[in-house]
Chain A
Amino acid sequence: MTPAVEIKGLYKRYAGGVEALKGIDLVVGQGEFFGLLGPNGAGKTTTIGVTTGLVRITEGSVRVMGYDVVSQFRQARQLIGLAAQELNFDWFFSLWDLMILQAGYYGVPAKIARKNAERLLEEFGLSAKRDVKVRALSGGMKRRFQIARSLVHEPQLVIMDEPTAGVDVELRHMLWDYLRRLNKEGRTIILTTHYIEEAELLCERVAIIDNGRIIADGSPAQLMAGIKRDGLSITVEGWSDQAAAGLDGYDYTFKDGRLQIKVVQPERRLADIVTRIAGTGAVVHDVTIDHASLEDVFIELTGRRMDD
Chain B
Amino acid sequence: MISTGFYTFVTRELKRFLSLYNQTLVPGLLTTVLYIVVFGKSLGSRIGDIKGHSYMEFIIPGLAMMNAITNAYSNSASSLFQAKIMQFLDDILITPLSGLEISLGYIIGGAARGFINGILVLVMGLLLTDISLSHPFLIVVELLVVSWAFGAVGLLVGIFAKTFDNIQLLVNFFLTPLVFLGGIFYSIDMLPPLWRNISLFNPLYYMINGLRYAVLDIADTSPVVSFLVSVAAAVIFTLAGAILFSRGYRIKE
Which residues on A are within 8 Å of B, measured CB to CB? 14-15, 49, 52-56, 73-75, 77-78, 80, 82, 84, 86, 88-93, 101-102, 104-109
Contact = CB atoms under 8 A, between A and B. Distances in A.
A98 to B, nearest CB: 8
B221 to A, nearest CB: 41
A49 B248 CA distance: 13
B88 A88 contact: yes
B94 A15 contact: no
Given A14-B253, A55-B252, A92-B19, A107 B86 contact: no
A15 B253 contact: yes
B83 interface: yes
A77 B95 contact: yes
> Residue among A15, A49, A86, A88 with the most chain B CB within 10 A?
A88
Contacts of A55: 252-253
A88 B90 contact: yes
22 contacts: A52-B94, A54-B90, A54-B253, A56-B253, A77-B95, A89-B88, A90-B88, A90-B91, A91-B86, A91-B88, A92-B16, A92-B20, A93-B15, A101-B8, A101-B11, A101-B12, A105-B5, A105-B8, A105-B96, A106-B96, A107-B4, A109-B4
B34 interface: no
Nearest to B252: A56
B86 A54 contact: no
Interface of B: 3-5, 7-9, 11-12, 15-16, 19-20, 82-83, 86-88, 90-98, 248, 252-253
Contacts of A101: 8, 11-12
Contacts of A106: 5, 95-96
A54 B252 CA distance: 6
Contacts of B3: 107
Contacts of A75: 96
A72 to B, nearest CB: 10
A82 B248 contact: no
A90 B22 CA distance: 20
Contacts of A91: 82, 86, 88
A165 to B, nearest CB: 16
Given A102-B91, A106-B95, 18 more contacts: A15-B253, A49-B253, A53-B94, A53-B252, A56-B248, A74-B98, A78-B96, A82-B94, A91-B86, A91-B88, A92-B19, A92-B20, A101-B11, A104-B4, A105-B8, A105-B97, A107-B96, A109-B4
A78 B5 CA distance: 11
Contacts of B16: 92
A15 B251 CA distance: 12
Nearest to B7: A104
Contacts of A49: 253
A86 B86 CA distance: 11
